Amino acid sequence: MSDNLIISRAGKTVNATIQLTGSKSECNRALVIEALSQGKVQVQNVSDAADAVTLAGILRHSSVDEVQNASTLSAITNSPFMVTSNTDREVNIGPAGTAMRFLTAYFTLQPGEVILTGTERMKQRPIGTLVDALRQLGANIGYVENDGYPPLLIKGGFEQATDTINIKGDISSQYITALLLIAARLPQGLNLQIEGDLTSRPYVEMTLSMLQQAGIQHTWTDNTISIAPQEFRETSIWVEPDWSAASYWYAVAALADEAELFLPGLTSYSLQGDSVITEIMANFGITSQFRDGGVYLKKEVKPVIRKIFDLKSCPDLAQTVIVVCAALGHEATFTGLETLKIKETDRIKALQNELAKMGVKLIEKGQVYKVDCSERFIPERITIATYEDHRMAMAFAPLALLIPEVEIEEARVVDKSYPAFWEDFKKAGFEVKA
């Protein structure tokens, strides 16, 4: 049975109110903090994104004392947490990359042994940098299949060998976050020395801010972040709606002739780095007004002038912004896309493949990428492959405002971060059919 959907739309005026799910980025951090706090921290507005549901299920059952009952719990809750024997647990996180990174660090502090695995694509996504850092601390982690990649055999509980480790800043910020989340539980604490430029800095700042909400203090001097051993305090963490999800509605507004959209719950003082979409999309005539407990988007016709976009601090917006530029025929240059090749798919190659279907090239020169629209055309119909990547589906869906029929392959991939995406698209006046 095909999981493809065909998207179309009569008219190019969009007017809707869209209630977004909780931020996956915030929620995943909050869930680990909740687990490490041993009940002192409570998470509110938990995201219904598949990644967050997976992580919540694993964390809330990973500490089950009566191992023989854990498989029953797994069946009841549909949690991916599986127990194969009293001494050997296998945890399958599926395609959830954030869960893989965060749990790699988390399970080093938990008793017993765990095999941490995922989908075939997950087994191709590197994790050696994080494993090396944890091994420096003294953690016992082995590779089950290929060095540097999941699955991992993690033997929990270790004697800390050092309180200071170095890690490169130009890799996934999730490696850094994974280490920071467990730092306060380490007997000697942690001094994390970041080498070189820090990619996705807002995500690291988000982690530290949420830890601070839970009572965990830090210092950040030059390139060193230090967290001493300390206790979590009793508190609740409210997860803000997802700015990454909001970006697709900004794209809809940018491609519409007229648009007025209201996204409740979003604030101008968000912890989420992707809230910078308000500034980026202002270049495409989208104004953002924060009032009535949310943000109003409105399209104002204006020429697009900006030619260079640095997405180093917000790489998850890359597909959205690049597709908007291609759709509008706006030639622009992008930097800060270094991490895109190790995401759910090689997002650079995926974008090149799919943009070519409308004659647009994404030209790579070193670490600079240029959108070339010199041969751009608007087809009557287009079929978009998603490569097991939720953001490919959602970034290309707004093309239905320009192209009469847009077919999205494996459309349920959006469940990873935004399960209600297609229903929300219907609310905004799009026709979505199998």
**Where would I find the H helices in 308-365?**
318-328, 347-355
Distance of CA 70 to the CA centre of its chain: 29
What DSSP element (H or E) covers 128?
A: helix 128-137
Class of residue 166 by CB neighbours under 10 A (exposed 0-12, middle 13-18, buried 19+): middle
Which two tokens mark 172?
């996934």
What distances in angstroms separate CA 63 from CA 73, 186, 237, 406, one per listed residue?
A: 12, 18, 21, 45
Given the residues 51, 242, 274, 316, the one annotated as active site:
316
Please report, to the nearest 10 degrees, the dihedral formed by the alpha carbons of residues 111, 117, 122, 127 taken in order.
Answer: 40
Across 21-120, where does the E strand assignment appear? 41-44, 81-83, 88-92, 113-117
For the beta sheet containing 431-433, the strands, ordered from the edge strand earlier in sequence to the opposite edge, are 381-384, 405-408, 5-8, 431-433
The whole-angstrom separation of Cα 201 and Cα 180 is 13
Distance of CA 39 to the CA centre of its chain: 25
Distance of CA 288 to the CA centre of its chain: 23
Tell me, yes or no, if 316 is annotated catalytic: yes
Residue pair 199/193 in contact by the 8 Å Cβ criterion: no
Please give the angle made by the CA atoms of 222, 28 and 315, to the nearest 5 degrees: 60
Residue pair 137/90 in contact by the 8 Å Cβ criterion: no
Residue pair 339/313 in contact by the 8 Å Cβ criterion: no
Catalogue the active-site residues.
Answer: 316
